[in-house]
Structure 1
Amino acid sequence: MQPTNPTPSADAIKPSHSNGSAKPSAEGHKPGPSRRAAPDRLRTVHETSAGGLVIDGIDGPKDDQVAALIGRVDRRGRMLWSLPKGHIEMGETAEQTAIREVAEETGIQGSVLAALGSIDYWFVTEGRRVHKTVHHYLLRFLEGELSDEDVEVSEVAWVPVKELPAKLAYADERRLAEVAGELIDRLHTDGPTSLPPLPHSSPRRRSQTHSHTRNRRPDESTQPPKPGRRANGCGQGP
């Protein structure tokens, strides 16, 4: 097999003596090497979102429990299922955002039972380098019917809880579904008082940028783990 970048021969690296070669200037100085313009540095912004896993039938048998998921079509035409979520608006706590976003994206009203954990990741969009942190919560279904009226959502569906590992597109959200299963088991065994207390969440005091990540976040089912990503039970982060 021929090498892709063969070493040039001695003739190939001889200096050119054509008319286009560099010549000393009138002052006797040779022109200096050309300088490439330094690339623009991307501005880094930090964004915080919240969302949740809302369960219907959470007090009943596991085989009857279903979760509301949203689906979005990526650039390759695949339907990617994930948990509803969105930016924390000024004056909102993370829990309030989770309740609002679940309602806006699925049509379902829920109440927060426990924190599932936080996920963070990086992406580049619109000339910015974005560090996004998303806080997730376990919610109990209260009322409502599935609705896909949100223009950012392609489909919504009730998915059996036991099928979440196969349905969710992202590995970090599949891990959160496992945490939810453990909390539901604890709820059945020892009651609501056995659930961990919600971490403190203060209302957001400043507005933030709203970068669009859909169709940009990689499908983690085919990606190796990346540093800088967390999924844990700590709830509210910086």
Structure 2
Amino acid sequence: MKEISAGGVVFKQEGSKIKVLLIEDRYHRLTIPKGKQEAGETLEQTALREIEEETGIKGEIIQPLTKVYYTYTDPKRGHIDKEVMYYLVKATSGEVEPQLEEINKVFWLDLHSAWQAQQENGYDNNDEVFKQAYTYLQSFLNSAEK
């Protein structure tokens, strides 16, 4: 069975610093908001809806990042081939509010700390997503400092 999802690396600028939104899931691992595509939605709409549902934050898509593929086994549905499209998303409004059925907590970290947290307690299949977001945001910061 194939499952299509979308999500995003959400960021905001605070003065000369960039903060990245992370979630701690019910397995106590750090990740980024994502979820299943609903009928009639574009992947961009799915990403923005899931980000808001899971974190309380509204955003706008800046650019696509990458697609991640993995498989897992669901006790009820069996073998699942999952495809997740990730975007870089700028936070525009909202207050952090975790969707408690799925998430333990939601929090902002500065760019470097978010990268470190992903390396230490994130899912390996998010490494490339974070790498691309980190590279883009680091170059954004460097150009803003000039």
- Band of TM-score, shorter chain: 0.7 to 0.9
The equivalent of 2:132 in structure 1 is 179
Q: CA 1:90–1:127 in structure 2 vs 1: closer, same or farther (change >3 Å)?
A: closer
Asked if structure 2 preserves the Cα contact closer than 8 Å seen for 1:111 and 1:139, the reply is: yes
1:13-50 CA-partner distances (Å, limit 9, x unpaired): xxxxxxxxxxxxxxxxxxxxxxxxxxxxxxxx000000
Kindly indicate whether structure 1 or structure 2 has the higher relative contact order, using CA contacts under 8 Å at least 6 residues apart.
2
1:46/1:108 CA distance change after superposition, 3 Å: same
Q: Which runs of 4+ in 1 moved over 3 A?
A: 185-191
Counterpart check, 1:57 vs 2:16: no
- Aligned to 2:23, the other structure's residue is in SS state strand
Deviations 1:43-71 (A, max 9, x none): xx00000000110108x53xx21111111
Task: Name the amino acid aligned to 2:36.
Answer: H
**What CA deviation, in whole Å up to 9, does each residue of 1:105-126 have, x standing for no partner?**
0110110001110111111112
Which residue of 37, 42, 51 maps to 1:93?
42
Task: Find 1:139's aligned residue among 89, 101, 104.
Answer: 89
* Partner SS, residue 92 of structure 2: strand
2:53 equivalent in structure 1: 104
Structure 2, unpaired ranges of 5+? none
SS at match of 1:183: helix
Task: Classify 1:166/1:143 alpha carbon distance in 2 versus 1 (closer, same or farther; 3 Å).
Answer: same
How far apart are the structure 1 equivalents of 2:25 and 2:100?
11
Structure 1 or 2: larger helix share?
2
The 5 A counterparts of 1:63-74 are: 64-74=17-27
Give 1 or 2 for the bigger CA radius of gyration.
Answer: 1
What's the offset of the Cα at 1:143?
Answer: 0.7
Matched residues, percent identical?
A: 29
Find the aligned partners of 2:99 and 2:54 in 1 and give their Cα distance: 8
Go from structure 1 to structure 2 and tell me whether the alpha carbon gap of 1:185 and 1:133 turns closer, same or farther (over 3 Å shift).
Answer: same
Runs of 5+ unmatched residues, structure 1? 1-44, 192-238
The answer (yes or no) to whether the contact 1:69–1:106 under 8 Å persists in 2 is no
Alignment partners' CA distance in 1, 2:135 and 2:77: 41
Q: How far did residue 188 of structure 1 move? A: 5.3
Counterpart-to-counterpart distance in 2, 1:176 and 1:118: 8
1:115 aligns with 2:115: no
Match of 2:78 in 1: 128
Partner of 2:110: 160
What's the secondary structure of 1:66's corresponding residue? strand
